[in-house]
Amino acid sequence: MLSVYLVLLSLGVIVLVKVVRSFSKYQRNKNVLKRIPGPPERVIIGHMGIFMQDTDSMFTRMRNFSKQYYPIYRFSTLYVDIVNFLKPEDIELVLSSTKHLSKSKIYTFLYNWLGTGLLTSTGTKWHNRRKILTPAFHFSILQQFLHIFNDETGKLVEKLEQECGKTIDVVPPVTHFTLQSIAETAMGISSIDERHQKEYKKAIYEIGHIFLRRLTKPWYRINAIYSMSKLAEEENATVKILHDFSTNIIAEREKERTTNVSQNMAFYSKKKRLAMLDLLLSAKNDGADIDYEGIREEVDTFMFEGHDTTSMAISFMLLVLANLQDIQTKILSEILNVVGPTKIPTYEDLQNLKYTERCIKETLRLFPSVPFISRYASEEFTTKTGYTIPEGTVLHIHIFDLHRNAEIYPEPLKFDPDRFLPEQVAERHPFAYIPFSAGPRNCIGQRFALLELKTVLCGILRRFALEKVDDMHDIEFRPDLVLRPKEDVKVKILPRQQTVQ
């Protein structure tokens, strides 16, 4: 009996020591982080109240904090410490490192939908998936995609012709274009049913709302509480729509592949580079560490990221051109000189649209499709601004504020494509411009997006003149998974009357 008591006593001492050590580490980290400036905080709950305020104003509040506490500031709550990075030198420490590759815990709110695909995974799984998927965005694959971008651009132009002379919200037709384009290119699906498209797009908007609502309610971070909530029911219903959409795409493509292989089609030769979904299915069949659930994770991830971010980039680009007639004229002039008035652009043509590319980059500076990313400090480090960041700290990188930093970009609200002349780029810090993130976890599809943007600009500007309706600097944003406006992105579409030389 005595031995039992001794064992229990020993276990109690071990638990007590661990608790004391954990609390000591917690207190030490809190004291270290308190050296970093930040908004006033309350006893015990810290800055939790900031995240429980009106969600519609959150985007504006974050911008105000970034200006007030530049170049670095802190949030602390009961359950997490957050450090916000605004200076490129500090951002480089996070993004360029192989130590801080893990996404922060807020991405776990996407697990129900995206699982642990390329966006949300970490460690060995992330490395393996990245290795499998990288060949799917090789330049030779992009060249194969160009005829699809051109065809879908033609369909978009036909839709816009029906709206000539009208003021329209450009987001819906552009989103239809990007969704169909990613389905045809990366997924190999020739057409998506109109009803399913509408359901999917509605579900994408809804999942963003759900994500934000969960993020701003501290009690929803406890899975046991969240799982019993009305919001969890809404999420499960929304995720079912999204998963059904992606599952149908996989099933349809696999059926096509089976038919084509049985007919000995050369398309599936081992020597030919494969598009994304074909690559995943081939990897599974060849015994790679991926199953149907893993394939669905990546299809969900790329269907979302491949259409929604590009859709917003194109929409903001059209808004900019409607506002800035001189820029619109210069881009059109370059397109006519390089491509011609009616010729379908080739891959080489699009690579030669240097001024157009600088305008796209400047648009992504002002309107980065992903305005914010978050990582997890896997070990302690010291910032260039002189602060110690303990292991376990959440690291928020505010791309939107970085890109509008007057110290880096004089007159930051001025649209100036010459900021991206080679000599000006060489003078800036390499992490001062990161619309596609940077470092080992940079966006795998950035060349895909740029090619799509150039193609659609060729199609639209050669047929239509864009006129200003709303001022581009009056656009208000709402917090979401991508940079999304609160209201419509309005542009007036007119037939182009004359050729610019």
Quick one: tokens of 171? Answer: 């987001």
Give the per-residue SS3 of 68-107: HHCCEEEEECCCCEEEEECCHHHHHHHHCCCCCCCECHHH
Q: 3-state SS of the chain: helix, strand, coil percent to 5?
A: 60, 10, 30
CA gap 337, 352 in Å, rounded: 10
Measure the CA angle with vertex 284, ends 282 and 288; round to 5°.
110
Quick one: tokens of 51? Answer: 């995240």
User: Which residue in this structure is represented by tokens 């240097």?
Assistant: 354
| Number of Cβ within a 10 Å radius of residue 2 | 6
CA gap 118, 294 in Å, rounded: 10
| Distance, first Cα to last Cα, the chain | 98
Quick one: tokens of 165? Answer: 């002379």
Quick one: tokens of 463? Answer: 């047929």
Are the CB atoms for 366 and 415 separated by under 8 Å?
yes
Q: Say if residue 173 is preceded by a cis peptide, omega within 30 of 0.
A: no
Three-class secondary structure of residue 415 per DSSP? coil
Give the β-pairing of 81-85 and 394-398.
parallel
Compute φ and ψ for 83, nearest 5 degrees: -115, 130
Quick one: tokens of 67? Answer: 């200006």
Establish whether 443 is an annotated binding residue.
yes
Are the CB atoms for 276 and 187 separated by under 8 Å?
yes
CA gap 107, 86 in Å, rounded: 21
Per the annotation, binding residues are: 443
Per the annotation, binding residues for heme are: 443
